[in-house]
Structure 1
């Protein structure tokens, strides 16, 4: 179960973009984050401190040894929660709103993809299925998918000289009616 402070931290749109950027590019200098995200260095520093307080990012030594600029990396790579995890009605409400914001983000990304997909050199895909499952079996599916994604990501050799494009994957599993 995620702490509510983590959920609150990563749900903010700018912080979500920071997390995504660090996930793809690794340790990054705060000025580069600001330029990439079209934001002021002070604003990015503020959001990094909020993410650091929640244990999402950590400051790291500059790879070039120049201590005049701060460098940041993710302290963790994945986040999972359910509003049912929280006994406090206020925290459960925050978790539900964070889930909704996450789904909006996912659907926004998907819509952006469909707008430009005809011009892309890389094909996307979609997949879905319908099955019977207990709550434990659905949780097992979540863990298995997470392991597959972790294994897939770890197997990508970014030093092999091939050109790569950021790829976004999302899936949802939930009870439904037929």
Structure 2
């Protein structure tokens, strides 16, 4: 179960973009983050401190040993929660709102993709299915998908000289009516 402070920290739109950027690019200098995210250095520094307080990011040494530059990396790479995890009605509400914000983020990304996909040389994909499952079987599916994605990402050799684009993948599994 995630601590509510982690959920609150990563739900903020700019902090979510910081987390995504660090996930893709690894340790990054504050100024580079600010330019990439079209934000002020002071704003990025503030949000990095909020993420650090929640244990999401950590400050690291500059690769070139320059102590004047502030470098940051993710302290962890995945987050998972359910509003049912929280006994406090206030925390449960925060967790539900964070889930809604996450779904909006996912759908916004998908809509942006469909707006530009006709001009792209790279095809995305869509998949869905219906099946019968217990709560335990649905939980097992989540763990298997997470393991598969981790294995897939670990198998990508970013040193082979091939040009790669950032890829966003999301899937949902939930009880439904037909």
TM-score (norm 2): 0.99
CA distance in 2, matches of 1:101, 1:127: 22
2:79 aligned with 1:82: no
CA distance in 1, matches of 2:84, 2:143: 17
Aligned 1:20-59 pairs, distance under 5 A: 20-59=20-59
Alpha-carbon distance in 1 for matches of 2:14, 2:148: 28
TM-score, scaled to structure 1 = 0.99
- Residues 82-121 of structure 1 mapped to structure 2, 5 A cutoff: 82-121=82-121
- Give unmatched runs, 5+ long, in structure 1: none
Q: Deviations over 1:77-129 (max 9, x none)?
A: 11111101111110000000000000000000000000000111110000011
Partner of 1:132: 132
The aligned residue for residue 148 of structure 1 is 148
Alpha-carbon shift at residue 172 of structure 1 (Å): 0.3
Quote the RMSD (CA, aligned, Å): 0.5
- Give the equivalent residue in structure 2 for 1:4: 4
Cα distance in 1 for residues equivalent to 2:140 and 2:49 = 34
Cα deviation code 1:27-60 (max 9, x no counterpart)? 0000000011111111000000000010100000
Task: List 4+ stretches of structure 1 deviating above 6 A.
Answer: none
Q: How far apart, in 1, do the equivalents of 2:177 and 2:58 lie?
A: 43
Q: Which runs of 5+ in 2 are unaligned?
A: none
Matches within 5 A, 1:10-21: 10-21=10-21
How much has 1:150 moved relative to structure 2? 0.6
Task: Count how many residue pairs are aligned between Structure 1 and Structure 2.
Answer: 178
